Structure formats: C-alpha cells, structure tokens
Amino acid sequence: MIELIEFLQNELLLSGTLFALIILLIVNIYSEKFKKYEIVNTNGAVTLMDDDLIILDVREEKERSAGFIDSDLNIPMGQVKSKLDSLDKSKKILVYCKSGTRSDRIADLLCKNKFQNVYSLKGGFNAWQKAELPIKK
C-alpha cells in the first residue's frame, strides 16, 4: 500500500489523468439515469406516431434535401430556443437530427423548459434511413 501511495505521489500527472477518467466514466454512466427525456430507437419512434405527436427536425434546411420524416416540423437547432412558445407542451415531442447528437441537446433543452413528454431519436435520420422507413423529399 505504501508503494502505491509513493507511486501516485511521484506520478501526479498520470494519477490526475487516471482520476479524471474515472470521474468522467462515472458521470457518463449515471447521467443516463437522470435524463428527463427518453431516447428511442426507430421502432420506438414508430410506436409513438400512433399518438398525438410533434415530430421536430432540428437539422438545417439544406440537410433536409436528403429527405425528412413525413409530417415533421423543421426548426433548426439554433432557432429552437426562440420558438419554444410555438410548441405545444401538452403533446409528445420526438426530436431528430442527422445522427442523434443535436436532438439529445434539444430534448434536454425542452425538458428544462417544462416539456413533459420528450423523446430523442437514437441515431437520428441516419438510423431512420437505415431502417428503410418512409421518407419525404
């Protein structure tokens, strides 16, 4: 045990890096449990569509040339915050982007602004296409 303490004292940079990585791993594991929105795969998204649902595409307009999910609402990520009042908080909202990263951020933003039923499409539009689900162009 004394050798370990001496090693950690002598290798402060290495010890600090190891400690930081352990903390980041713990935060990453437990942050999933504290999300107020749900991440759904394409099957889960299709199931949600049976309900009264807002499908929110947060991609830029030029990205929509690849296609989009029918009956969606396009509000680019940078404009969502200023248009929160135009969204109905009583409805379920499925957020998607190209790969799922931006939609997670917007889903979190919606939850912080008192939206209750928020979902993010895992893998985004790429996953939707890969599952060969219908798209509009």
Whether residue 97 lies in the annotated active site:
yes
Contact 39, 104 (CB under 8 A): yes
Contacts of 84 (CB under 8 A, 6+ apart): 110, 113
Q: Which candidate in 55, 97, 121, 127 is catalytic?
A: 97
Which distant-in-sequence residues (6+ apart) come within 8 Å of 69 by Cβ?
55, 57, 96, 125, 128, 133, 135, 136
Annotated catalytic residues are 97
